[in-house]
Amino acid sequence: MATPSGQGGVAVVRVSGPRALAVAEAVAGPLPGPREAALRGFRDRGGETLDHGLVLVFPGPASYTGEDVVELQGHGSPAAVAAILEALCAAGARPAGPGEFTERAFLNGRLDLTQAEAVASLIEAETDGARRAAVRALTGEFGRRVNGLADRMMDLRARVEAFLDFPEDEDVPAEAPELGTEVRGFCAELNEIRRRVVAGARLGEGMRVVLIGPPNAGKSSLLNRLSGEEAAIVSAQAGTTRDVVRQRAVIGPRQAELLDTAGLRDGAEKDEIEAEGARRARVAAGQADLLLIVVEAGAKLDGELEARLEAQAPRPAVVVRNKIDQTGEEPGWVDGAGSRPHVSTAWVSAHSGAGIEVLRNGLETLVAGAAGEDAWAARRRHVEALDRADRDLQIAQAAAEHGGQEELVAEALRRCQEALGEITGRVSHEALLDRIFSGFCIGK
């Protein structure tokens, strides 16, 4: 079943494989021509009508999987779908595993691994930024850039190894190839690919936004305003929040996880529980993609909060001056500048709502800039493979600039090329494929 479980207007069941046409014909009767929709009755082996719907045939290799594919589009009744699936299995089919259709598309050369994983990213996309990144990867641009870089490394390796192994051949140059310039070019391109991949991986993983500040500054009220839900308990009593409170939200093009933390006092905490809450707040702040330091309007930042701002660079931070309803200040936003370009300032009232939209717009601008408008949907394994490739390429560059170490350059380029091949599937292992496709939904 290619559509979600449960009731709906239409449910789609797909059959793929060398016997797909025969199996589908046993249930739906005579099949229409390629890519033509026809109304049919779906029947079991005993001839009982299970449902009525449309049938479409996509002959291989010009299909999603590269094999013959038939779609049965019936009514979105769980009972009807279960009966159709049972009839198809009785006719010789078997249930597909998670991601098996996309895995077959990869194995049959219809997609590379970056495109296959982009399919899953597109299905999972919850924000417009994640959708755009998945569509960019699905076009194949990500895979083409990686394969193109690997191919140029192969060409350079071939010239180096020809010089080393066949020095007297008249077709081989008498002098070693000039390696430094080419390897530096590889480094620059790998860095560009990695930048877009890291941005895409962050889009998929979501952004960690941490709220810290002194007790009773209004962090919990602000969390509730930004998330649109009463996720955190709000009280005039200082120290209400003792643990980290987590809430999901969408900020601009990205999913975000908002973390409300215990108050940080400028000095020793009152008791053991407060001390533990403060410790957890500091740990969360150190892992923030975006840090919101919430203080009362007109108050100065203590030494610890100032140090947090410095440690956050170059990741963005915002000093949120809250409770302007009590001071009479106007809502506003000021971008970072001077020696602290990563630190912006906002004036809000979490109690009255004044300035919240200004704050939200400013955060969306920061997040959009961090997201990367040219990002490709990517997974953590892509980042890890690029990190390995980068380490080997740095070895190749050092050997190339030293001179007389062509063997080291060739070997480092070989390892780098293998790491890149894992990304697109040129170098694939069964365990890797199992791990990738096991995360897909059934029917895709």
Cα separation, 143 vs 424, in Å, equals 6
Residue holding tokens 């096991």?
438
Q: Are 118 and 105 in contact (CB under 8 A)?
A: no
Instruction: Kindly report the backbone phi and psi dihedral angles of residue 254, in degrees, each rounded to the nearest multiple of 5, phi listed first.
Output: -130, 150
Helices (H), 91-140: 100-107, 113-124, 128-138
Q: Mean pLDDT lowest for which of 8-17, 382-391, 406-415?
A: 406-415
Where does the chain hold its CATH 1.20.120.430 domain(s)? 128-202+379-437
- 80 residue type, one letter: A
Which of 150, 151, 116 lies closest to 377 in space, CA to CA? 116
- What dotted CATH number matches 8-95? 3.30.1360.120
Where does the chain hold its CATH 3.30.1360.120 domain(s)? 8-95
Where does the chain hold its CATH 3.40.50.300 domain(s)? 206-371
- Give the tokens for residue 402: 């030293």
Using 50, 70 and 90 to split pLDDT, how confident is the model at 437?
confident
Q: Are 210 and 284 in contact (CB under 8 A)?
A: yes
- Give the tokens for residue 359: 């704050």
Buried b (16+ CB within 10 A) or exposed e, 285-299: beebbbbbbbbbbee
| Predicted structure pTM score | 0.66
Question: Phi-psi bin for 4: left (phi > 0), alpha (psi -120 to 50), beta?
Answer: beta
CA distances, 240 to each of 4, 229, 236, 348 (Å):
42, 18, 8, 21
Question: What are the residues facing 12 on neighbouring strands?
Answer: 73
- Domain 206-371 -> CATH class: alpha beta
Using 50, 70 and 90 to split pLDDT, how confident is the model at 23?
very high
Q: CB within 8 A of 35, min separation 6: which ones? A: 56, 57, 58
pLDDT at 275: 78
CATH architecture type of domain 128-202+379-437: Up-down Bundle (1.20)
Using 50, 70 and 90 to split pLDDT, how confident is the model at 369?
low
Given a cut of 60, is residue 70 above it in pLDDT? yes
How many other C-beta atoms lie within 10 A of the C-beta of residue 128? 12
Mean pLDDT of all residues in 311-328: 91
CA distances, 49 to each of 52, 77, 209 (Å):
8, 14, 55
Residue holding tokens 């530096």?
184
Mean pLDDT of all residues in 251-255: 75
Residue holding tokens 């480092």?
412
Which of 213, 206, 284, 273 lies closest to 244 in space, CA to CA? 284
Q: Give me the sign of the Cα torsion angle 390, 391, 393, 397.
A: positive
Q: CB within 8 A of 78, min separation 6: which ones? A: 5, 6, 7
- Give the tokens for residue 335: 């971008």
441 vs 10 pLDDT, higher one: 10
Given a cut of 70, is residue 243 above it in pLDDT? no
What's the mean per-residue pLDDT of the chain?
Answer: 86
pLDDT at 271: 66
pLDDT tens column, 135-189: 999 999 999 999 999 999 998 888 887 766 655 555 444 445 577 888 899 999 9
